[in-house]
Chains A and B, each alone.
Chain A
Amino acid sequence: MNIAAPIMDDLRPPPFHETWNHRKPAEVVKKRAADLPDMTALSVRAVMPDLPETIWAEDPLLGPTNVDEVRRHAKAQAEAMDWSKIEKGRMVNIIANPHGFQLCGEAYVTMLEVIAEHVRTTREARVRVRIAESMGHIENPDWVKIYNLEERFGDVTECPQIGPGKKVDTRLGDMYVLKKLFDAPYFIHTHVTEMREGYLHRMMDRLFKPFGMSYARLESRSAYHFGFGPRTGQIVSREIFESPDIQDRYVGTMVLDTTSEGVVGVHGNNDLYALDRSLAAGIMTNYGAVMRILGEIDDCVVIFDDHGCSVYTYAGGIAFDNMLCADVDFLDLDNLSVLAPEIHDRSDPGLTMGKNNAIKSIVINYMAGGVPQPFVWKNFPIHIVGETVKKWLYNDPTNYHISDAKPQVWSSLDEAVAAACKAGNTKNVIAFDRTPGAFRVSRPLAEHLMKRARAVRKQVEEELLPKWLRQRGLA
């Protein structure tokens, strides 16, 4: 293992899976971005040498791929938690989320197994797994099949947000949650700490977020966006969590703590407030420089080459939303940071975000649909590789307007990237292909990022992180 080397070309992107709606991108995508000439894998650890060591990683170059340590940590956490609320023989819902499977794979499943086993043996309870599905569910890999969840857990149900709901009373009034997630006398909340949708949760009550998002019904999910501001949407999550009906059923939380390389810890607590505050500083420390270095790119072509839809594709262990919004520091609570590039005004730059002028073009080798991205199609030239991928995108209920961007369709990835680079007058390319622990970039961009890494670390450590912590009462 050589995790200090800046270039780690042996790291590969994870393979494509068949999707829930029976698409087989592996049969359609002829070439991955990693196989383009002049692409390389810049180690995230080269940018952030102080990352904690992993206890599980998807690739052996980044740490152990067996789940022994995850199991040991999860067991220790489970034994330290109080499960006495659960009465013998009663039903417990373990609530899981697709991001856990996507980013942490067997480690996440192992954590769920430890929880299930512990609750069954110590409380003689019945256990089932409820997966809180949200946008793009049918275009995602079928995690239930990929990880044999029905064999491993028995009763497993995917619960889309369009499914039946129920009302809960909150301090602010009625809110709505998904009925199937909370249809047992007890539930256990699980999560991973990775930095997707930071522009929404703003690292305010980060571990509560699913209560206002994937656990919420459409009504309250909509209210998160339209009835609250960008720094206060998380109040929906807190209100739902604190509602009497949810509190009656809540037992505890267990999370995988992650970095760009994989899992670095397992943490459990009955007290979600305490757990959230104990992990918040670490999350910002471990992801801060990785997020901010994307703002150091002056010009580039972005390739989507992954499951996930646009902002939910990953590079260097973080989602594309971090790059799309790199024009504004959305962890700085002085910035409103509404995702609204169409009304951006340079005279008050912190108010809106989402038009990163460094992005010269976007090449879609493959991406899932299911999440509306008009702010991408309207703001950047689009290139698509192959007619099948084009057809999938055009037929997406949420992105039919990609056709208005008049994307150019190319027969090969090489042609698409060459055309995009030529039009954008850049040699910098970054692929969001979910390679763990590394940025998949062209060599000129790798060299540029290496040159900027020290200054970015310094800025985060000395200026930004102290401010982020201070604003959240964590300093």
Chain B
Amino acid sequence: MPKKVRMVAKIITENCTGCRLCEQVCPTVAIGMRPRREDEPGKSRNIAELDSAACYNAQGCVELCADDAIEMVELEEPFEVGFGIQDKVDTDEVKALCKKSGFSPIMRICVCTDTNAGDIAAAVIGGADTPEAVSLATGVRTGCQELCLQPILRILAKAGHEDMERNPKTGFQWYGESAVLWDHLDAKGEFPEEILEHYPNFPLETERADMGKLSKRSRK
């Protein structure tokens, strides 16, 4: 499902202090900085500038701006992003990258935009080489931002982009992959004793078996 973008950010130039927080947090890097013109009120030398076509209504900038320098405005004509992305690349390649990453292609990764692992893999195969580029292609990470990052980083890494750089370099759109439990299964598909002993009350073995059942059900 594509995301329908109904609002975009608007920079209130007189309030902007050029602190760059908005630029550093925007999942699609829709905000950059430019010199303040002489006729523009305000004190800082640089101010934020929006590429409205790349603004997907994530509102992280609004949340972090301490100067009330960003407001959201409704679009007269909403636009959609992420439509038909899997139609543009080879299906087998998508399946292979998803498998390598440990996700079913139909596994929903971004609940906000209904983006699944296949969509993300398709964006990466189509040329997206950072989470920002994946977001621009699919809309993923432009809702709550709290659920979807780990699988995106994993799929990018498995496609050979583990050394990608943040944009901007000081940005905190993402850091790196977080550790996951399933990576600790051994060659036999079992958890090491150290983990089992440390978490005696957690039903680790049952969890592994039930997640396998669920995975089979999803594939059906």
Contacts and interface: CB of A to CB of B under 8 A. Distances in A.
13 contacts: A162-B64, A162-B145, A165-B175, A172-B180, A175-B178, A219-B149, A219-B176, A222-B149, A231-B206, A232-B181, A336-B213, A343-B218, A397-B58
Interface of A: 21, 134-138, 160-165, 167, 170-176, 204, 217-223, 225-232, 234-236, 238-239, 333-334, 336, 338, 340, 343, 345, 348, 351-352, 370-372, 374, 394-395, 397-401, 403-404, 471-473
Interface string B172-186: 101111111111100
Given A204-B201, A336-B214, A473-B201, A397 B112 contact: yes
B59 to A, nearest CB: 5
Nearest to B172: A164
A336 B207 contact: yes
Interface stretch (B2-10, B84-92, B121-129): B2-10
Contact of A231 (B60, B147, B203): B203
A219 B174 contact: yes
Given A218-B145, A235-B199, A351 B210 contact: yes
Given A138-B59, A473-B201, A351 B175 contact: no
Given A204-B202, A235-B199, A220 B178 contact: yes
Contact of B214 (A172, A236, A351, A473): A351
Nearest to B191: A232
B143 A351 contact: no
B47 interface: no
B109 A372 contact: no
A167 B176 contact: yes
Contacts of A404: 1
Interface centre among B147, B194, B198 (most CB of A within 10 A): B147
B57 A227 contact: no
A395 B7 contact: yes
A219 B64 contact: no
A218 B174 CA distance: 8
A162 B114 CA distance: 20
Given A171-B195, A397-B144, 14 more contacts: A161-B145, A171-B194, A173-B183, A218-B146, A222-B151, A226-B150, A232-B203, A333-B203, A336-B213, A338-B214, A351-B217, A372-B111, A395-B57, A397-B112
Contacts of A371: 144
Say which size band chain B's interface belongs to.
35 or more
Nearest to A400: B4
A404 B4 CA distance: 11
Given A372-B143, A397-B112, A138 B63 contact: yes
B148 interface: yes
Contacts of B149: 218-219, 221-222
Given A135-B146, A217-B175, A397 B151 contact: no
Contacts of B74: 395
A334 B206 CA distance: 8
B204 interface: yes
B178 A219 contact: yes
B33 interface: no
A395 B201 contact: no
A405 to B, nearest CB: 13
A225 B147 contact: yes
B133 interface: no
A389 to B, nearest CB: 15
Given A138-B59, A162-B63, A173-B183, A235 B174 contact: no
Contact of B142 (A229, A345, A351, A397): A397
B72 interface: yes
A397 B109 CA distance: 16
A219 B145 CA distance: 10
Interface in B52-91: 57-60, 62-64, 72, 74
Given A231-B207, A395-B6, A395-B57, A167 B175 contact: yes
B181 A229 contact: yes
B116 to A, nearest CB: 12
